C-alpha cells in the first residue's frame, strides 16, 4: 500500500516536472498523461485486497473475495476523461505545428504581461 502511494506521488511530481520543462508539445502531453497515471495507481491501490480476484461476479462462486469495484469504476471514468483531454491537446499541438512551424511551447510568445 505505502509503496503504491510513493509511486503515485513520484509519478505526479515527475509528470509535472516533465510538463514544466518540456521543449516539445507532444512530449508535454505525454508527460501530462504520466502525471494523470498517478491517479490510476493511487485509486487502484486503495481498492486492492490481498488474494482477492477481479470483481466480475459471473464466474466466481458467491462469497469469493474481490477487490473494490468502486475504484475500478472511478479509474475507468478517469481513463475516459484522460482520452478526451489528450485528444484535444494533441489536436491543439498539431495545429500549433501547422501554423507556427514549431512544437516548442517556449516559442509561443503572443500572450504575456
Partner 1 sequence: MSAPDALPLLVAGPLLLAALLTAAGRWLPRAVVDAVAVAGAATVLGVSCWLCLRAADGAVVSWQGGWSPHDGVTIGVGLVADPAAAGLVALVAALATAALVFSIRYFEEVEGLFHALVLLFVAGMVGFALAGDLFTMFVFFELMSVAAFALTGYKIEELSSLHGALTFAVVNSIGAYTTLLGIGLVYARTGALNLAQAGQELSGRPADALVVAAFALVCTGWLVKAAVVPFHFWMADAHAVAPSPVCVLFSGAMVELGLYGVLRVGVVVFDAPLGEPPLKALLLVTGGAACVVGAVMCTRQEHLKRMLAFSTVAHTGFVACALAGVDTDAVGGAALYVVAHAAVKGALFLTAGALRSRFDTVSEPDLFGVGRSERTLAVVWLVAAVGLAAVPPAGLWFGKDYIDEAHVHAGTWEVVVLGVLVSALTGGAALRVWIRVFLGRGTPTASQSGSEPAASDAEEETTEQLTRTPWVMKGSALALVVVGWGAGAVPVVRRAFLAAGEQLLHGDEYRAAVLHGSTSPLPNVPLPPSLTALGLASGLTAAAGMVVVALLGARGTGLPRLVAPLARLHSGRLGDDVAWLFLGIALLGGMVALTAS
Q: Of 56, 60, 95, 103, which one interacts with partner 1 (CB under 8 A)?
A: 95
Does 30 engage in binding with partner 1 (CB under 8 A)? no
User: Do residues 61 and 27 make contact, with C-beta atoms less than 8 angstroms apart?
Assistant: no
Question: CB 58 → partner 1: shortest distance, Å?
Answer: 21
Q: Which is nearer to partner 1, 54 or 83 (CB)?
A: 83
The 71-90 contact track toward partner 1, x by CB under 8 A, reads x--x--xx--x--xx--xx-
Question: CB 55 → partner 1: shortest distance, Å?
Answer: 14
In the window 3-22, what residues touch partner 1 (CB under 8 A)?
8, 12-13, 16, 19-22
CA angle 12, 83, 44 (to 5 degrees): 50
Give 40's contacts (C-beta < 8 A, 6+ positions apart): 75, 78, 79
Rounded Cα distance, 7 and 45, in Å: 10
Using a 10 angstrom Cβ sphere, with 0-12 exposed, 13-18 middle and 19 or more buried, the burial of residue 72 is middle
Rounded Cα distance, 102 and 26, in Å: 11
Given the rule CB under 8 A, which residues bind partner 1? Answer: 8, 12-13, 16, 19-22, 25, 28, 32, 35-36, 38-39, 42-43, 46, 70-71, 74, 77-78, 81, 84-85, 88-89, 92-93, 95-96, 99-100, 105-106, 108-113
Amino acid at each position: 500500500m505505502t509503496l503504491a502511494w510513493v509511486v503515485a506521488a513520484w509519478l505526479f511530481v515527475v509528470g509535472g516536472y516533465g510538463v514544466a520543462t518540456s521543449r516539445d508539445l507532444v512530449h508535454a502531453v505525454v508527460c501530462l498523461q504520466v502525471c494523470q497515471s498517478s491517479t490510476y495507481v493511487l485509486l487502484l491501490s486503495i481498492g486492492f485486497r490481498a488474494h482477492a480476484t477481479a470483481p466480475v461476479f459471473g464466474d466466481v462462486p458467491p462469497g469469493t473475495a474481490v477487490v473494490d469495484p468502486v475504484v475500478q469504476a472511478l479509474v475507468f471514468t478517469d481513463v475516459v476523461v484522460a482520452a478526451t483531454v489528450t485528444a484535444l491537446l494533441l489536436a491543439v499541438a498539431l495545429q500549433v505545428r501547422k501554423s507556427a512551424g514549431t512544437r516548442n511551447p517556449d516559442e509561443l510568445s503572443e500572450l504575456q504581461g
